[in-house]
Amino acid sequence: MSTALLIEQILNGLQFGVMLFLMAAGLTLIFGVMGLINLAHGSLYMIGAFACAAVAAATGSFWLGLVASLAAAAAAGALVELVVIRRLYDRDHLDQVLATFALILIFSEGTRWLFGSFPLYLDIPSALSGAVQLPGGGRYPLYRLTIIGVGIAVAVGLYLLISKTRLGMRIRAGESDREMIAALGVDIRTLYTVVFALGAALAGLAGALVGALQSVQVGMGEPVLILAFVVIVIGGIGSIKGALVGAILVGLVDTLGRFLLPKLFAAFMGPAQGATAGAAIASMLIYIVMALILAFRPKGLFAANA
Amino acid sequence: MSLLEISGLESFYGASQALFGVNLRVAEGEVVALMGRNGMGKTTTIGSVIGLVRPRNGAIRLSGKDVAGMQPHRIARLGVGLVPEGRRCFPNLTVHENLVAAARPGVWTLARINELFPRLEERRDQYANTLSGGEQQMLAVSRALMTNPKLLILDEATEGLAPVIRQDIWAAIRRLKAEGQSILVVDKTLSELLPVADRCFVLEKGRTVFSGRPNELTADLQDRYLGV
């Protein structure tokens, strides 16, 4: 096993992690601030990917597609919040799950109706199509490095937004006492719409960025949604910092587990059996990690200070 | 025209009726005491004014505008600043953040708050949940003042505070009064409340049963409506 390969796998894990972070950040904000379980978050990811692919195909520009993905996902998020979600805040979680599950079906069928069942493909923009020399002799795609960079930039931006701006203070205040912040003159309903649209835009961004790595198709959001829920449970619901740490942890553990465990088991079980056993454990690994973390920190790593 | 005028207010708390006809008036620049034993409807009255409880009947007018049934943030922006029972500072925000999160421009600025309660300046970057009860009450009062309300409402202004801190809060209320701030205040310490009040309203079982000047609230009446 060469160092170059290990570094490459670590970078893959990071890239996967920051992509999960973009999903989980919105999900944890919506869950933490409004107490809403939004299963349709994966649909917003899909909408971002489709908007990017469609606009990029029509205009020839990935960058216009990226802007379209943000706009489409934020608009879809705001619309869904105004029409459906707003009625769910005071309902229990089961109602929320049912209603947002219905939204998944509506969005999936709607997308199939508009774009058909065949996957769309999105090309990596030419400016980011090369590879970068890694220490140890390997090469790594520039585009994946860029995703890592975007994820870090979003994390810093969100941190500043939440901790330094008045909007962020109001979001946190609403998290701890929604009635009180309203009684002080803050329009909590509009605030919720803004938070929801922001979370949706981040999911859309993740969808667009990943769309250039894999095919853009109906149902692409749900597997990611499940992982994003794992991330926010590990990180502590409502915590952006927790979402970042949880996402990187899940990304690295999953990627490195799939890479290293088969080799490890092969060392003492023989290559064939070892590879099978290693792969089986690797696919369970993030859930094992989640269970362990919850056993010791039932509220997650960075439970919100409330 | 009164700043706040409540007439014939009836409100429900869930399915059960809590207010059966509350009448109350606060004129510009007045300090008004809202009194009554526990469970007689003081907090529900305040909740109805700010819109947290939806009134069923009657009128609530702020500077002549009927606000009954309006959303809380709209009522607050018309000039009502609430210091709720139990203080309800945002625990996960610092003192500074509690003050500026919902602030609206006006005569009250951070500098003036720091002068009113120098302690808060010392605690500027501490989270609100690390403050003592008295400091939290100072913060809750300041947070409401930072929205520059025409009417400041204090529910249980000094409940559960150490005697020294109570004096600080009453001193602040007297100072606000001297500056012309209109205040509606609920408190159980009659010895402090009556001297500062211009007018008193007493609630019993959700109805206004007395209104008048503090000196008209005789020992006999106090015993009947407020004694334990």
- Establish if A137 belongs to a structural domain: yes
Residue of A nearest to B72 (CA): A183
- Per the document, the length of chain A is 306
| Domain membership flag for residue A247 | no
- d(Cα A135, Cα A239) in Å, to the nearest integer? 34
Domain that includes residue B131, residue range: 4-225
Is the Cβ of B100 closer than 8 Å to some Cβ of chain A? yes
Mean pLDDT score across all residues of chain B: 92
**B213: CATH:** 3.40.50.300
What is the share, in percent, of chain B residues with pLDDT greater than 70? 100
- pLDDT attached to residue A206: 96
The answer as to whether A258 is a domain residue is no
Q: Give the model's pLDDT for residue B228.
A: 64
Separation of alpha carbons A49 and A219, rounded Å = 11
Task: Give the mean model confidence (pLDDT) for residues A216-221.
Answer: 93
Among B22, B58, B26, CA closest to B40: B22
- pLDDT (0 to 100) of residue A267: 86
Structure confidence at residue A306 (pLDDT)? 41
> Rounded to an integer, what distance in angstroms lies between the CA atom of residue A202 and that of residue A208?
10
Quote the pLDDT of residue A1.
59
Residue A41 domain-assigned (yes or no): yes
Residue B30 has pLDDT above 80, yes or no: yes
ipTM: 0.90
Instruction: Name the A residues in 90-149 with CB < 8 Å from any B CB.
Output: none
Token pair for residue B153?
Answer: 């409402």
Q: What percent of chain A has pLDDT over 90?
A: 73
Return the axis-axis angle of helices A166-176 and A142-164, rounded to nearest 10°: 70
Q: Is residue A276 part of a domain?
A: no
Structural domain containing residue A191 = 8-218
Angle A86-A88-A91 (CA atoms, 0-180°, nearest 5)? 145
DSSP track, chain B? --SEEEEEEEEEETTEE--SBEEEEE-TT-EEEEE-STTSSHHHHHHHHHTSS-EEEEEEEETTEE-TT--HHHHHHTTEEEE-TT----TTSBHHHHHHTT---SS--HHHHHHH-HHHHHTTTSBGGGS-HHHHHHHHHHHHHTT--SEEEESSTTTT--HHHHHHHHHHHHHHHHTT-EEEE--S-HHHHHHH-SEEEEEETTEEEEEE-GGGS-HHHHHHHT--
- Which residues from chain A sit within 8 angstroms of residue B104, using beta carbons? 185
- Asked if residue A200 belongs to a domain, the reply is yes
Candidates B46, B92, B151, partner chain A, best to mutate (most A CBs within 10 A): B92
Helix (H/G/I), strand (E/B), else coil: A62: helix
* A130 within domain boundaries: yes
Give the model confidence (pLDDT) of B58-93 as tens digits: 999 999 999 998 999 999 999 999 999 999 999 999
pLDDT at B50: 94
Q: How many independent structural domains does chain A possess? A: 1
| pLDDT bucket at A304, cuts 50 / 70 / 90 | low
Residue A212 lies in a domain: yes
Q: pTM for the whole thing? A: 0.86
* pLDDT tens readout for residues B166-203: 999 999 999 999 999 999 999 988 888 999 999 999 99
Inspect the interface and report whether the beta carbons of B102 and A179 lie closer than 8 Å.
Answer: no
Rg (CA), chain A: 20
Higher-pLDDT residue of B95 and B14 is B95
- Specify the number of domains making up chain B: 1
pLDDT at B1: 72
Which member of A169, A183, A188 has the closest CB to residue B100? A169
